[in-house]
Amino acid sequence: MSHHIVEAQGLRYSYPDGTPALEDVSLRVEHGEAVALVGENGAGKSTLLRHFTGCLFPAAGTLRIGGLPVDKEHLAEIRRAVGMVFQNPDDQLFMPTVFEDAAFGLLNLGVAGAQLEGKVMGALETVGAAHLRSRPPYRLSQGEKRAVSIAGVLVMQPDILVMDEPTSNLDPRSRRRLIELLRTFKHTRIIATHDLDFALEVCGRTIVIHKGRVTADGPTREVFGDEKILRLSNLEQPAALRKCPACGG
């Protein structure tokens, strides 16, 4: 996979009860882009993310990662290229210690010894969590859990980082650390979020999803400056772009 481009054409998916979740979704994310997926609850954001990792497969249309179709035949290659950080870190952290959690994927690939130690500690250092290596995950704060869950994905060296609501339940300082961390990444980043101020700081491009359809796609500041689009999608303009109610500035 020489070019890790995400490309969907006419993607459709319905839930088992027949309710449409994605309808005719088309998009293309280039290597190295940071893209926010925004929309109200139930818009289809998380469902779309699960397609990127091969947890779900489209009912119609096509989805390709690095030129490979997302299907059962190419699932192993897709999952090597795409790493997902779930909304709730507790869904990812289940080993007795932070080190073992971050090492889990590599251990399953047979990596051991000094190579394992170096890769895991490198990932933990990247997210500022090396000092937590011996701590049990259940004793961590939400911000620390988030950092460790990201380390467990980074250690696998994915080309595409997919994140679902990464700022949920974070205190302001942990949220700021996450913003600064994500700004340093060279990975392709696709981030589903309700935190539009976070998206404004981290993502140069934003895709708005409403009722399973892409209703806007463009530079983040331009998309968030379109009050009509935001209103139709049941979103509010981020605080950083709102006029001061007192002076209008």
User: pLDDT at position 241, please?
Assistant: 87
**CATH, domain 6-238, list 3.40.50.300, 1.10.3720.10, 3.30.1330.30, 3.50.30.10:** 3.40.50.300
Cβ neighbours for 217, distance < 8 A, ≥ 6 positions apart: 27, 205, 206, 207, 208, 223
Model pTM? 0.90
pLDDT value at 2 more than 50: no
Q: Region 60-66: what's the mean pLDDT?
A: 94
What is the distance between the alpha carbons of residues 160 and 205, in angstroms, rounded to a whole number?
A: 16
User: pLDDT at position 246, please?
Assistant: 61
Are 214 and 25 a contacting pair, CB within 8 Å? yes
User: pLDDT at position 1, please?
Assistant: 42
Confidence band for 244, pLDDT divided at 50, 70 and 90: low
pLDDT in tens, 101-133: 999 999 988 999 999 999 999 999 999 999 999
What is the distance between the alpha carbons of residues 209 and 40, in angstroms, rounded to a whole number?
A: 8
Q: Region 58-70: what's the mean pLDDT?
A: 93
Per-domain residue ranges of the chain: 6-238
Are 189 and 196 a contacting pair, CB within 8 Å? no
pLDDT averaged over every residue in the chain: 92
Are 36 and 202 a contacting pair, CB within 8 Å? yes
Do strands 82-85 and 34-38 pair parallel, antiparallel, or not at all (unpaired)? Answer: unpaired
Cβ neighbours for 192, distance < 8 A, ≥ 6 positions apart: 36, 37, 38, 45, 46, 48, 49, 163, 164, 165
Enter the tokens of residue 56: 């779900």
pLDDT in tens, 183-194: 998 889 999 999
Confidence band for 160, pLDDT divided at 50, 70 and 90: very high
What is the distance between the alpha carbons of residues 127 and 125, in angstroms, rounded to a whole number?
A: 5
Cβ neighbours for 35, distance < 8 A, ≥ 6 positions apart: 29, 189, 190, 191, 203, 204, 205, 206, 207
Confidence band for 44, pLDDT divided at 50, 70 and 90: very high
Residue with tokens 């990662």: 65
Q: Region 80-84: what's the mean pLDDT?
A: 92
